[in-house]
Structure 1
Amino acid sequence: MPTLRQLEYLVTIADTGSFALAARVANVSQPTLSQQIRTLEQRLGTTLLERSATGAMLTPVGRSIVVTARRMLSDASDIVALAAGASDRLTGTLKLGTTPTLGPYLLSPIIAELHRMAPQLRLHVREGIPDEQLLELSRGNIDVMLGPLPMAGDDLAIEPLFREPLHLVAALDHPIDAGEAMTRDALTGSPLLTLDPRHHLARQAAEIAERHGMTIAPDYYGTSLESLHQMVASGLGLALLPSLYLRSAGGMAGLKILPVEGWRVHRSIAIAWRRQSPMSAAFKLIAGHVQSCAERLLAE
């Protein structure tokens, strides 16, 4: 029978496309990894990988086996959680994925309160692109994800938490007056700065730009909300920034919020975990805590 370790090596090769990279990720020598894959193929009586000088590619049967292997590895991780007795208590170490447009401005006060409430809980926070993190969640590489909707996945439990207002901001010396509401026509042709298009916030910004006749500045993608902030404050253009960011320390430095007639723009934040996870009860407790904390922060 295949071992979980062999299946883990196969999945890692599938993700990296390379024996060398897979060995580095798995923290083993390349000869050890190669030998384990050969043993796995011998036990199964089939070829799982097409090897070449440029890397490794799954055979058709290899692709099918990797799908099942991912599920088995995820189930094995869940078994460990059950054995630790942490299925309904906030204990142990959880890998939490979030987006850099949300985590730094929401999690700091929440994690401090969670630690007081559940001192045995440890959170390993990993920031990344939401769509990529959903894939990591399904694969079992993270336990729970906090990020903007939309989220999708037949194997995932997704619970909406709160709505966060998004504001249009400009430099303090921008000619548009922040003291009176503007019509949409006043924004026509204005440059709107955004993040990398893979971010949900960038997609929303593109929709807002089209709706208000603004233009996306493609040569000035921000790498973070801070970089957007700096570019806007320097007069390079306008930007769409979340309320929690603007409420953070220094979030409004050099900026002003532009009031636009009929402006009711927000993003919906949700939490997601694998539907079959034995930690579901604990995740629901975390969800309720995040929701109440976020609502309190937004009301301040």
Structure 2
Amino acid sequence: MPTLRQLEYLVTIADTGSFALAARVARVSQPTLSQQVRALEDRLGARLLERSASGAMLTPVGRTIVATARRMLSDASDIVALAAGASNSLAGILRLGTTPTLGPYLLSPIIAELHRMAPNLRLHVREGIPDEQMLELSRGDIDVMLGPLPMSGDDLTIEPLFREPLHLVAALDHPIDSAAEAPPEALAGTPLLTLDPRHHLARQAAEIAERYGMTVAPDYYGTSLDSLHQMVASGLGLALLPGLYLRSDVGGLAGLKILSVQNWRAHRSIAIAWRRQSPMSAAFRLIADHVQGCARQLLA
């Protein structure tokens, strides 16, 4: 029978497209990885990879086997987690994925409270692009994900937690007065700064820009909310910033003002997701409850 290690090597090659990169990710020598994958092919009696000087590509049967291997590796990870938490379901290491537009401004107080309630629970927080993290969650690279909707996956439990307002901000000397509601037409032609388009927040910003006749500034994609903050404060344009960021100590309103626009109701919905068959559902629901309570308190 194939070993889990051999399947792990095959999946890593599929993800990287390269024996050299896969060996680096798996932290083994390239000859060892190559020998194990060759042994897997011999054991199965099928060619799983097309090898070339430029890298490696899955054969049709290889693609099918990799899809099954991902589920097997995810199940094996869940078995380890189940055994680790057999005496206490709130123990062990949980790999939590989140977006950089949320995690840094919400998780600190939540993690401190969780540690008080479940001192044997450890959270390994990984920030990334939401769509990419959904794939990581499905294949078992992370255990739970906190981020904006939409989320989808037939194998996932998805729990909506709260709605976070999105505010339109400008530099302090911007001509639109923040003390009175501005008519929507006052925004027409105004440049709107956004993040990398792969972020949900950037897509929402593009929709709002179109609705109000603003122009998305393509040459000024921010790398973080902080970079958007700084560019807006310098007068480059307006931006859409989440309420939790503006209320946080590391974010805030320094150099900014919130514009009041007639009928402005922009928000985003935040949810938590985990694999439906995970044995750690109790821990995930505890995290969900604390995220929800903390966020609502911060936004009240």
- Normalization by structure 2: what TM-score? 0.98
Matched position secondary structure for 1:20: helix
What does 1:211-222 correspond to in 2, within 5 Å?
211-222=211-222
Q: Does 1:146 align with 2:138?
A: no
Q: Take 2:142 and 2:62, find their aligned partners in 1: how far apart are those partners? A: 24
Tell me the equivalent position of 1:229.
229
Give yes or no for contact 2:85–2:92 (8 Å, CA) kept in 1.
no
- Given residue 283 of structure 2, which amino acid in structure 1 is its aligned partner? A
- Given residue 34 of structure 1, which amino acid in structure 2 is its aligned partner? S
Q: Take 1:88 and 1:62, find their aligned partners in 2: how far apart are those partners? A: 39
Pair 1:87–1:244, CA change in 2 (3 A):
farther
Matched position secondary structure for 1:70: helix
Q: Percent of aligned pairs with the same residue?
A: 85
Deviations along 1:40-94, one digit per CA (max 9) or x if unpaired, are 0000001000000000000000000000000000000011111113597221110
Tell me the equivalent position of 2:279.
278
Q: How many residues align?
A: 299
Greater mean deviation of Cα atoms: 7-16 or 282-291: 282-291
Q: Take 1:106 and 1:205, find their aligned partners in 2: how far apart are those partners? A: 21
What does 1:41-52 correspond to in 2, within 5 Å?
41-52=41-52
Matched position secondary structure for 1:218: coil
Tell me the equivalent position of 2:240.
240
Tell me the equivalent position of 2:254.
253
Pair 1:257–1:74, CA change in 2 (3 A):
same
Q: Take 1:154 and 1:257, find their aligned partners in 2: how far apart are those partners? A: 39
Give yes or no for contact 1:81–1:87 (8 Å, CA) kept in 2.
no
Give yes or no for contact 2:90–2:282 (8 Å, CA) kept in 1.
no
Q: Take 1:153 and 1:88, find their aligned partners in 2: how far apart are those partners? A: 28
Pair 1:31–1:82, CA change in 2 (3 A):
same
Matched position secondary structure for 2:272: strand
What does 1:1-300 correspond to in 2, within 5 Å?
1-86=1-86, 89-249=89-249, 250-299=251-300
Over the aligned positions, Cα root-mean-square deviation in angstroms equals 0.9
Deviation at 1:281, TM superposition (A): 2.0
Give yes or no for contact 1:87–1:280 (8 Å, CA) kept in 2.
no
- Given residue 275 of structure 1, which amino acid in structure 2 is its aligned partner? R
Q: Take 1:184 and 1:293, find their aligned partners in 2: how far apart are those partners? A: 33
Structure 2 runs not aligned, ≥5 long: none
Deviations along 1:244-299, one digit per CA (max 9) or x if unpaired, are 00011251000000000001110000000001111112211211111111111111
Deviation at 1:174, TM superposition (A): 0.6
- Given residue 32 of structure 1, which amino acid in structure 2 is its aligned partner? T
- Normalization by structure 1: what TM-score? 0.98
Q: Take 2:243 and 2:9, find their aligned partners in 1: how far apart are those partners? A: 43
Greater mean deviation of Cα atoms: 196-205 or 285-294: 285-294
Q: Take 1:195 and 1:2, find their aligned partners in 2: how far apart are those partners? A: 44
Deviation at 1:165, TM superposition (A): 0.4
Deviation at 1:176, TM superposition (A): 0.7
- Given residue 167 of structure 1, which amino acid in structure 2 is its aligned partner? H
Give yes or no for contact 1:147–1:270 (8 Å, CA) kept in 2.
yes
Q: Take 2:286 and 2:298, find their aligned partners in 1: how far apart are those partners? A: 19
Greater mean deviation of Cα atoms: 196-205 or 85-94: 85-94
